[in-house]
Amino acid sequence: MLEVDKLRAGYGAINILWDLSLTIREGQTTVIVGPNGAGKTTLLRAIMGLIKASRGDIRLNGRTTANRATWDIVHDGVIMIPEGRLVFRDMTVEDNLMMGAFPRHCRKGAKQNLAQVYDLFPRLAERRHQAAGSLSGGEAQMVAMGRGLMEEPKVVLIDEPSLGLAPVVVDEIFRIIARLKREGRTIVLVEQNTHRALAVADHVYLMRSGQVALSEPASAVNLDRLHDLYFAAEAAGA
């Protein structure tokens, strides 16, 4: 459904992704792990069209996204839940969440989805009129998550959703991801918490210095070996 083909991309003169290829299958949950700076966020940005490929291609249902704008990709049902730092800081929590329903096809269900998000994160309901910039890191993360749910995605790219969250909230986040999976949505999950991520994964990629270092079905993954590779990567990167 989503193919990344020998992708080379980066920021200006700095190249980050080096001929990276991977395949995301419809309805599956693909987990991407890797050390800090491996280029995981950069890959998600490239898929969303926020940065352009200098070489290689990204195809959605066989069609290249090279000349498509981010907002068009979003309207096609591919969305990204970025880290909490990317909330709209000077807008209220509720306005942030409502922005998730901006794509036309999401507007009808906005009211209902909003109530559902408040159900999932009662903290956000308490702070609905507060500026998102004044939230704690964990709360901002919840806003980013809730905002993404408002977008009713077909394919959802989630960037480290558990970062900085208390264990109970992490449980909640993974329950939500499991639910999205049951609903048949395609999920790409970037996550440092390999143990938790593996529990929902169908396929696992390990990224290292802008390349794929390991690609395995989740059932074949050996956590010890993954961790070895992971830390080898960190040692090599250091």
Ligand X SMILES: Nc1ncnc2c1ncn2[C@@H]1O[C@H](COP(=O)(O)OP(=O)(O)OP(=O)(O)O)[C@@H](O)[C@H]1O
Residues that bind other proteins (CB under 8 A): 48, 50, 69-71, 74-75, 79-80, 82, 86-91, 95, 98-100, 102-103, 107, 147, 151
Find where tokens 């929902």 sit: 200
Q: Which is nearer to other proteins, 33 or 87 (CB)?
A: 87
84 binds, among other proteins, Mg ion, ligand X, none (CB under 5 to 8 A by kind): none
CB hemisphere CA count around 76 (13 angstroms): 19
Residue 208 is a binding residue for ligand X (CB under 6 A): no
Q: Which is nearer to ligand X, 37 or 103 (CB)?
A: 37
Using CA atoms, how far apart are residues 79 and 71, in angstroms rounded to an integer?
9
88 binds, among Mg ion, ligand X, other proteins, none (CB under 5 to 8 A by kind): other proteins
Least separation, in Å, of the C-beta of 97 and Mg ion? 23
Least separation, in Å, of the C-beta of 97 and other proteins? 11
Burial class, 1, CB count within 10 angstroms (exposed 0-12 / middle 13-18 / buried 19+): middle
Q: What residues line the site for Mg ion (CB under 5 A)?
A: 41
Q: Which is nearer to ligand X, 40 or 185 (CB)?
A: 40
Query: What six digits make up the tokens of 29?
Result: 């949950």
Using CA atoms, how far apart are residues 18 and 6, in angstroms rounded to an integer?
7
Choice from 9, 22, 38, 106 touching ligand X (CB under 6 A): 38
H-state helical runs in 2-109: 40-47, 70-75, 93-99, 104-107
Using CA atoms, how far apart are residues 143 and 137, in angstroms rounded to an integer?
10
Choice from 20, 31, 33, 40 touching ligand X (CB under 6 A): 40
Q: One symbol per residue from 78 to 117: x for binding ligand X (CB under 6 A), - otherwise; what is it?
A: ----------------------------------------
Element (H, E) at 186: strand 186-190
Please count the residues of the chain. 238
Question: Among residues 98, 108, 107, which one has the least CA distance to residue 129?
Answer: 98
Contact positions toward ligand X, by CB under 6 A? 11, 14, 16, 34, 36-42
